Structure 1
Amino acid sequence: MTATVAWMNSKRFLGVAAAGYLALTVVLATLFATGTIFAAFPLAGIGGFVVAAERIEGDVFKLTPALGDTSEQQYWPQGAVQLDEVRIEGLNLSKDLSFGSLRAKVEIVATGTVVGHGVTMNISGMQAAQAEFDNMKIDETFTSDVFKKIGLSADSMTLVQPSINTHLLTTNSITLPGMKLKIRFFNGDQELGGDF
């Protein structure tokens, strides 16, 4: 019996990652430029939690390629979104978890206007009924750093009824008026409880 050791070719990995980033950025940039953002949900085999709202407004928007882990994948091409300030109406942040035949849905909701400063999100998909950007710019850069080859920026952005598949969310500060945490349990489609 012989053992085989697999080695990862880092140049090949970076090339594949670069192609993935470029494809993700081109798709997102095209969708942003057309004013309609749509990606199929749920994204099977990727993982993530969903940030949904009635309306999201943000100032000093930036989108760049990123590589990060998810609950289902060790490495996955993502878009890194940065906003200086964000205002969210009707926030619903949710994550589905499976426990064999049982399922749990963890939700954080807020009833008022959520305000966040210094927000960063890594995303792998987004859909919105409408997207608006002020002074949008898509820019390529000649560099060997794959994460700096292309980027998208805007002075401000507005998303109407967005749903964002998110893998990382950080903020310098955030206010959640009327915040409620719910953990609901299901057996198939039958809710077993957890909401109040």
Structure 2
Amino acid sequence: MLSVLNLNKKLFFWSLGLTLGSLFSVLVTLANTGNLFAAMPLAGVGGFVIEADKITGTNFELIPSVADTNLSNKEQESWTAFPQSQTTMDTVSIWGLRLYKNIDLSHLGFPVANYVQVLVEANTTESKYVSGTQLLMNADYIEAEQIDFGDLQMDENMRTDHPNLVTGDDQKADIGMKASSVTLTRAKINAHYMSTKTMSIPGMKLTLHLYDSNNREVAPANIMHSSPWNN
């Protein structure tokens, strides 16, 4: 079988470079300033995936939101408002962080490579973890093996100090939940927007992985990667 790496390498890396250039610069911005925004197509709905062994936060709040995302197919992309949850936390700590985005390559005409996965990982231990302050995140999917709350409150007319940034709704959510603390174990989140005032990522590493349409890796994991960034 013809290897994807034996195709027109110049065309491949030129096209891939154009596709990844803006995303890479955004990830660099995350490492340097703690701000991340991404809304590219993932299974028809925009977003990037955050996986973690454990996430803890303080002064947790979740309210309904409507925010921009990218509804897409292989022929056409369209930006639109999409129902999401808006989550805020004063502080957040993350162990076992994996943040990834699958970028469609099928329109480039490669017979083997169907998509590239851009993967960001952190080298965390029990005492060394990703930490951030004043987290704001929009997501349309949140799951966890277990979620533990401290002082949980739910209210169908909850007052909030964090109005919906898109709709401009002042200080009231139709329904919402608050907790003094939250812990998510084995979490997976499809997010569309995330920002923090500060963020520290120990041993940050970015790698690219090529996959075929059957989700099989078709190029070595180390085909192109950065050196770890130690913060």
Q: Tell me if both proteins adopt one fold, taking TM over 0.5 as the criterion.
A: yes
Q: 1:70 to 1:193 in 2, by over 3 A?
A: farther
Residue in structure 2 matched with residue 116 of structure 1 by the alignment:
132
- Letter of the structure 2 residue corresponding to residue 54 of structure 1: D
Q: Is 1:77 matched up with 2:83?
A: yes
One-letter identity of the residue aligned with 2:153: K
- Report how many aligned residue pairs link the two structures: 153
Is 2:209 the counterpart of 1:179? no
The 1:60–1:139 alpha-carbon spacing in structure 2 relative to 1, beyond 3 Å, is: same
Q: Judge conservation of contact 2:209–2:217 (CA < 8 Å) in 1.
A: no
Q: Which amino acid aligns with 2:91?
A: E
The answer to whether the 8 Å contact 1:50/1:166 transfers is yes
Compute the displacement of 1:75 (Å): 1.1
Can you list the C-alpha shifts for 1:40-65, whole angstroms capped at 9, x where unaligned? xxx74222111100000000000011
1:86 is aligned to 2:92? yes
2:114 and 2:136 map into 1 onto residues whose CA distance is 32
After TM superposition, the structure 1 = structure 2 runs for residues 1-196 of structure 1, keeping only pairs within 5 Å, are: 44-72=43-71, 73-100=79-106, 102-112=114-124, 113-141=129-157, 145=169, 148-188=173-213, 189-195=216-222
Partners of 1:84 and 1:172 lie apart in 2 by: 10
- Structure 1's 190 and 184: CA in aligned 2 closer, same or farther, altered over 3 A? closer
Give the partner amino acid of 1:140: E
SS of the equivalent of 2:89 reads strand
Query: 2:21 matched to which residue of 1?
Result: none
CA distance in 2, matches of 1:87, 1:142: 26
Pairwise CA RMSD: 2.0
Q: Where in structure 1 are there 5+ consecutive unaligned residues?
A: 1-42
- Sequence identity (%): 33
Displacement of 1:182: 1.1
Query: Which string of whole-angstrom CA distances, capped at 9 and with x for unpartnered residues, describes residues 106-125 of structure 1?
Result: 11100120000011110101
Q: What is the TM-score of this pair, normalised by structure 1?
A: 0.72
Give the Cα separation in 2 of the matches to 1:69 and 1:46: 11
C-alpha displacement of 1:70: 1.4
The 2-side partners of 1:107 and 1:82 are apart by 24
Give the deviation of 1:129 after TM superposition: 0.6
Secondary structure at the counterpart of residue 148 of structure 1: coil
- Residues 117-163 of structure 1: CA distance to partner in whole angstroms, max 9, x if unpaired? 011110101111100001111112289x5962221110000000000
Structure-2-length-normalised TM-score: 0.62
Q: Deviations over 1:84-124 (max 9, x none)?
A: 00010000001111111520101110012000001111010
* Large movers: runs of 4+ above 4 Å: none
Does the 8 A contact of 1:186 with 1:193 survive in 2?
Answer: no
